[in-house]
Amino acid sequence: MKNRFFICIPVLLALLLGACGLQGQPEAEDGFFLYYLNEDQNRLETFAYEPVATETVELIDELITLQGSDLQNGHLYSLLPEGVTITGSTLDEKTLILDFSAAYKKMPIGREALVRGGLVREFLQIDGVDAVVFTVKGNGLTDSHGNGVGSMTTNSFVENSAETINAYQSAVMTLYFTDLTGTKLIPETRKVYYTSSEPLERAVVEELFKGPWVTGSMATFGTDIHILSVITQDDICYVNLDSSSVRITAAPDVSEEVQIYAIVNSLTDTCGVSKVQITLDGETNTVFRKTVRLSEPFSRKDSLIE
């Protein structure tokens, strides 16, 4: 076991980025990539990079030093927001433990999920690192419900990279809309093509908000809902919506419960997730419309299906 601690030096960061490495969007599948946030800071993007170090521990040090820097000319932004830093690392066998400053716990759920997904994928590119564990001030990371996150690999996340941004794939989706009374859910199956740079979960939510294709059912939401992010981790899909657009398209003839479970049932049926956490502007300590609290993830509800 080897323990290391870091001081990020701006001059070193400039040398690493300038002399070696950022080469634009990746063109080969076997390249090495740094992970950033897109311009809207709601999706992961990759950037080709040629590391200086060749040994496992030294390469870990190098990647940690690179965190916290934006690439604003390319409209790419650091995974870690201001104030959140990696304060140390431990390589135990092939498990890399990254320790973060206390500010890590203050990140909104959606941003934290992107940070996890990007950093885990980035460090797993290193030979000799098979899994990544996050700690905060030495304590194991827990999710918003107090459950231990534990060891993470690439299989822990569903978020396609930008390498395949021009490719398309299809999926058969089961989407739930409402009956004409606004109190029951009606399933509709459709085949949809979507870009492979987009997670299936986000494509499902986008398609749901477009409304039904068949007669006899109504849309559960208006078409002006703004989706901030849709990310899956630990078998829970996190759907982050813009609160102002939800208020504008509240669909008063549709019950709040039907709206919530239109999203939940569509995602659990099509994507196989076990639960769905809905947030407004990244917040769970809030109420959807008037009565439905968002503090806990929702499981599929069959009783609403007509």
pTM for the whole structure: 0.56
Domain boundary among 162, 179, 208: 162
- Whether the CA torsion 99, 103, 106, 109 is positive or negative: it is negative
Contact at 8 Å (CB) between 120 and 157? yes
* Statement: residue 235 has pLDDT above 70: yes
* Residues 201, 138 share a domain: no
Residue with tokens 């809309």: 177
Contact at 8 Å (CB) between 143 and 110? no
How many other C-beta atoms lie within 10 A of the C-beta of residue 170? 9
How confident is the model over 128-175, as pLDDT tens digits? Answer: 999 999 999 999 998 766 778 888 887 666 544 444 434 557 788 999
> DSSP letters along 203-249, please?
HHHHHHHT--SSTT-B-SS-TTPPEEEEEEETTEEEEEE-HHHHHHT
pLDDT band at 120 (very low <50, low <70, confident <90, very high): very high
What per-residue confidence (pLDDT) applies to 23? 38
* Residues 157, 178 share a domain: no
| Residue closest to 80 by CA, chosen among 91, 88, 72, 70 | 70
* Residues 88, 190 share a domain: no
What per-residue confidence (pLDDT) applies to 249? 57
| Residue closest to 123 by CA, chosen among 191, 67, 81 | 67
Cα 266 to Cα 84, 118, 129, 137, 208, distances in angstroms = 35, 26, 36, 38, 8
* Beta strand residue intervals within the chain, DSSP E: 2-5, 33-37, 44-48, 86-92, 95-100, 131-136, 139-140, 157-158, 168-178, 185-195, 227-233, 236-241, 275-280, 287-288, 292-293
Contact at 8 Å (CB) between 35 and 45? yes
* Statement: residue 199 has pLDDT above 90: no
- pLDDT mean over 235-261: 82
* Residues 90, 42 share a domain: yes
What per-residue confidence (pLDDT) applies to 147? 72
How many other C-beta atoms lie within 10 A of the C-beta of residue 125? 17
Domain boundary among 162, 179, 214: 162
* Residues 8, 150 share a domain: yes
* Residues 182, 270 share a domain: yes
- Name residues whose C-beta falls within 8 Å of residue 72's C-beta, 6 or more positions apart in sequence: none
How confident is the model over 11-22, as pLDDT tens digits? Answer: 344 434 443 444
* Residues 44, 87 share a domain: yes
* Residues 177, 41 share a domain: no
- Name residues whose C-beta falls within 8 Å of residue 53's C-beta, 6 or more positions apart in sequence: 59, 61, 62
How confident is the model over 31-79, as pLDDT tens digits? Answer: 799 999 888 777 788 899 999 999 999 999 999 999 988 886 668 999 9
Contact at 8 Å (CB) between 183 and 176? no
How many structural domains is the chain composed of?
2
* Statement: residue 7 has pLDDT above 50: no
What is the average pLDDT value for the chain, to the nearest integer? 82
pLDDT band at 177 (very low <50, low <70, confident <90, very high): very high
Residues of the chain by 3-state class (helix, strand, coil), percent to 5: 30, 30, 40
* Statement: residue 238 has pLDDT above 70: yes
What per-residue confidence (pLDDT) applies to 21? 40
What per-residue confidence (pLDDT) applies to 226? 87
Element (H, E) at 57: helix 56-66
Specify burial of residue 281 (Cβ count, 10 A radius: 0-12, 13-18, 19+): middle
Give me the domain span that covers residue 79.
2-162
Domain boundary among 145, 162, 179: 162
* Residues 126, 23 share a domain: yes
Specify burial of residue 216 (Cβ count, 10 A radius: 0-12, 13-18, 19+): exposed
215/266: higher pLDDT = 266
* Statement: residue 183 has pLDDT above 70: yes
What per-residue confidence (pLDDT) applies to 73? 67
**Structure tokens belonging to residue 59:** 């390469």
* Residues 293, 220 share a domain: yes
Contact at 8 Å (CB) between 152 and 158? no
